[in-house]
Structure 1
Amino acid sequence: MVTGPMRSGEPRDSSLNYAAIGATQTDEILQYPPKGYRAFQASRKIGSGQERFDSAARLLMTWGVLRGSGVEVLDITPETAEDVYAGVDFDADGRPIGITSIPEEELFAPDGTPYVAAGTTAVTVYSGGPFKVRVPIKVVYVIDEPKRVGYGYGSRVGAPAEFERLMVVELTDDGSVVFTIRAISRVTSWYRRVGFALLRLGQKRYTDKYLTALHPTRSAGS
């Protein structure tokens, strides 16, 4: 049984189905989640050193955590240039001076796999026994810092819940490589509770899978 309206080849709606866009960027969301939402965070050390950080970041940014956890990632569609809001640059006095430039270079892993980018849409498929739940998502922001790499993605119209999830790898000052997941979620409406219940029942299972997906023994895709 497959729940959810999205099918390959059907018209897609890239709109997010929640208002708290970008909320997972700050850890304050754990204490003060939006009304009606549940907040969650879990972290795990997955090694140490620059090389470990680089390999973990590369795997994370090519959908490795989801796919390594048994989640299918389908219909991946990068956002087109004309759909991207560039924003406005300001001078030191706060006066607008022009449109922010958008990087044209797309990042790729050594095997040619494109990196996750803001605005990318996809459909994730979770399996539980005879059931499959299709969850349309959109990448809402990307973190690309020397010692911190990751992305946040949120639920799109048609998902059985409203949620946003951050997955980030960090190289700490003591050389540890730490993988963190932070999320907020809430059910959208009563008739979606079946699909949402399946996701909630598997939340701990998938969280454990997520947290181990970047472990060195899994880096080869095992």
Structure 2
Amino acid sequence: MTRITSAGRLALSYPERGATAGGRPLPAGYHHLHHRTRLGRGRAVFEAAGTAVTTFGVHRASGVRVRCDDGAVRPGSRVDVGLGWGPLRIDAPCEVVWTAYGPARTGFAYGTLPGHPERGEESFLVLLDPDGTVWFEVTAFSRPARWYTRLAGPLVPFLQRCYARRLGRVLRRAAAAA
């Protein structure tokens, strides 16, 4: 059954909204992902990386099709992520559940909507340490929502980790060029 919110929008396909925001353990019953990539040092790297993350520039540069109903992320933004190629493309509808636009933390998380191959949430953060080191951090929890992701079994978490690493490499190059 597809749930609709009082605003007439599709409801998230999982109940633990905002669990990637930190401060508490990720929910049980899901595969957990946590990946960090060192991007470089300094405010310029932080700002360039933050912009690339919050405008989906890093996702697009990594070869993923992204359609967002807003230019930059904001809570409630509807996001459609296209995974794969040609007739094998899978559309993955999401909604931005939280954002961070601060002096040392920039990014967002989106949660899955009905029709997404997984159920869960994924955050993408750029962090500036007090010593000037800039990090890109991906945190996620997910479990299969479709027959083909259940069938793929442990391949899905492996591919998610590969994607997080690819985002980190692409973002490091983009931030260094800024």
Q: Which residue of 2 aligns with 1:218?
A: 174
Kindly provide the CA deviation profile for residues 101-137 of structure 1, in whole angstroms up to 9, marking residues without a partner as x.
Answer: xxxxxxxxxxxxx221111002101116962221101
- Cα gap change, 1:220/1:42 in structure 2, threshold over 3 Å: closer, same or farther? closer
Of the candidates 91, 101, 107, which is equivalent to residue 134 of structure 1? 91
Alignment of 1:153 with 2:100, yes or no, is no
Number of aligned residues? 170
Q: Which residue of 2 aligns with 1:107?
A: none
Q: CA deviation at 1:77?
A: 1.9
Q: Which runs of 5+ in 2 are unaligned?
A: 1-7
Sequence identity percentage: 31
Q: CA RMSD in A?
A: 2.6
In structure 1, distance between residues paired with 2:66 and 2:132: 32
- Cα gap change, 1:195/1:54 in structure 2, threshold over 3 Å: closer, same or farther? same
Q: Which runs of 5+ in 1 are unaligned?
A: 1-11, 79-113
Q: Which runs of 4+ in 1 moved over 6 A?
A: 195-198
Q: Which residue of 2 aligns with 1:101?
A: none
Of the candidates 69, 75, 78, which is equivalent to residue 77 of structure 1? 69
- TM-score, with normalisation over the residues of structure 2? 0.84
Aligned letter for 1:163?
Answer: G
- Cα gap change, 1:185/1:169 in structure 2, threshold over 3 Å: closer, same or farther? same
Kindly provide the CA deviation profile for residues 46-71 of structure 1, in whole angstroms up to 9, marking residues without a partner as x.
Answer: 01011111111111111022112111
- Cα gap change, 1:72/1:199 in structure 2, threshold over 3 Å: closer, same or farther? farther
If you compute each CA radius of gyration, which structure gives the higher value, 1 or 2?
Answer: 1
Alignment of 1:44 with 2:37, yes or no, is yes
Q: Which residue of 2 aligns with 1:108?
A: none
In structure 1, distance between residues paired with 2:131 and 2:31: 32
Q: Which residue of 1 aligns with 2:12?
A: 16
Question: How do 1:32-71 and structure 2 match up within 5 A?
Answer: 33-71=26-64
- TM-score, with normalisation over the residues of structure 1? 0.68
Give 1 or 2: higher helix fraction: 2
Question: Could you say what secondary structure the match of 1:28 adopts?
Answer: coil
Alignment of 1:125 with 2:118, yes or no, is no
In structure 1, distance between residues paired with 2:84 and 2:48: 27
Q: CA deviation at 1:213?
A: 2.2
Kindly provide the CA deviation profile for residues 31-84 of structure 1, in whole angstroms up to 9, marking residues without a partner as x.
Answer: xx323112110101101011111111111111022112111012x224xxxxxx
In structure 1, distance between residues paired with 2:138 and 2:9: 26
Question: Could you say what secondary structure the match of 1:17 adopts?
Answer: coil
